[in-house]
Amino acid sequence: MTTTPTPTAFVTQELSDQTPIEENKTTVDGGGILVFNAYTLQIPNDWTHGREKDQDLDRLTISNGSYNIKIFQAATGGAPCLYPGDADVEGPSSRFISFVEFNGISNNQFRRGTTGPQNSMTVCEMQSGNWGQPTSFGHISYQMPANPDEDMIKIMDNIIASIKKK
């Protein structure tokens, strides 16, 4: 028997409502391979970052304890992101049961969604009138501990909201 998760409400989060990144921050560079944008973003000084890069791959990992953001650029497929109330589509897609929408400083529209009671989230971007992944900056995912701190998730959103094309 197949069960469908019950859709939950979504939240639209304005940048001004997010937990602000501290004044002391670090600019981090990433991306720029294949069809993806090179970018910069801002992280608080108490977060760390590491980058793996070659001609076919760029992976930036940003961490604070057990909270991680990964931005991955490589030759991978894309898929539409579907949310509560969206009709199914033919072909591959990612269906989320809840999401939070937020805007980036470069007028990008993002949604971080979850597919169930797990400790990870995926970020999709509005592109040509539809939500999809990867974003123009690559596949973006969050990993966190069980029962994550909402303020830490807002800081993660703020880091992604700071992303801009280089």
pLDDT at residue number 118: 76
Question: For the residues 3-13, what does the mean pLDDT come to?
Answer: 41
Give the global pTM. Answer: 0.86
Question: For the residues 123-142, what does the mean pLDDT come to?
Answer: 96
Strand stretches in the chain, DSSP E: 11-13, 25-31, 38-44, 48-54, 57-64, 67-74, 79-82, 94-95, 98-103, 109-114, 120-127, 130-133, 139-143, 164-165
Higher pLDDT, 114 or 20: 114
Q: How far apart are CA 27 and CA 43, in angstroms?
A: 7
Share of the chain above pLDDT 90, in %: 80
How confident is the model over 70-86, as pLDDT tens digits? 999 999 989 999 999 99
Is the bond preceding residue 145 a cis peptide, omega within 30 degrees? no
Residue 150 parent element (H or E): helix 150-161
